[in-house]
Amino acid sequence: MFLQVVPKPEWWDRFFACVYRFDRHDKGEGCWIWTGPFDDSGYGFFSVNSVSASGKRIASARAHRFLLEQYIGKIQRGLVVLHSCDTPQCVNPYHLSVGTIADNVADRDAKERRIIKLNVELAREILAFRASGISAPEVAEAYGVSPTLINNIWRGRMWRRAHETAATAADVAQPGEL
């Protein structure tokens, strides 16, 4: 996909203040992880308009869809944004493409991805394994998620609320129980 360069708009600094770019370490090919607010589905969302003193309404959009639209133009209603990297928090436009829900389901099935909805309790369980000596890939396999997601939870880049009242590994499971 060819992406055209856009001039730096007013929202640019606010948006990228919420992005951790893994590509700084791997020649530009890594995920750009959204670290700002998330919706209930686990996708980042971005407030497009700021709150004004006059009470102007705040318009928000899913972060990955918003950024892709800045590069390719308006995405038609009924179409979804697909992640080639299978990381819902990624906003790297080179990892994103437009398709139908059927395309997304076919991609999920072809890659044999499990559907798991994380919540704070699961994130706390995952966080507790960090001190147990179990590797991120092992924990990821047990929960049906990516090792990147596990590392992001462990480092506090995602599910920060889980760090506030994190359980200990003894409260959750022992290494032999995985």
Q: What is the per-residue pLDDT across 110-136, written as a single tens digit (0 to 9) for each?
A: 887 665 667 888 888 888 888 888 888
Burial level of 62, CB count in 10 A (0-12/13-18/19+)?
buried
Same domain, 34 and 67: yes
125 plus 152 within the same structural domain = yes
**Residues of 67-100 as b/e, b for ≥16 C-beta within 10 angstroms?**
bbebeeeeeeeeeebbbebbbbbbbbbbbbbbee
Global pTM value:
0.57
Highest mean pLDDT of the ranges 38-42, 83-87, 172-176: 83-87
**Assigned domain for 139 exists:** yes
Both 89 and 122 in one domain: the answer is: no
Total number of domains in the chain: 2
Statement to judge: residues 126 and 104 lie in one domain: no
Q: What is the pLDDT of residue 123?
A: 85
Domain-ending residue, one of 82, 113, 144: 113
Shared-domain flag, residues 14 and 53 = yes
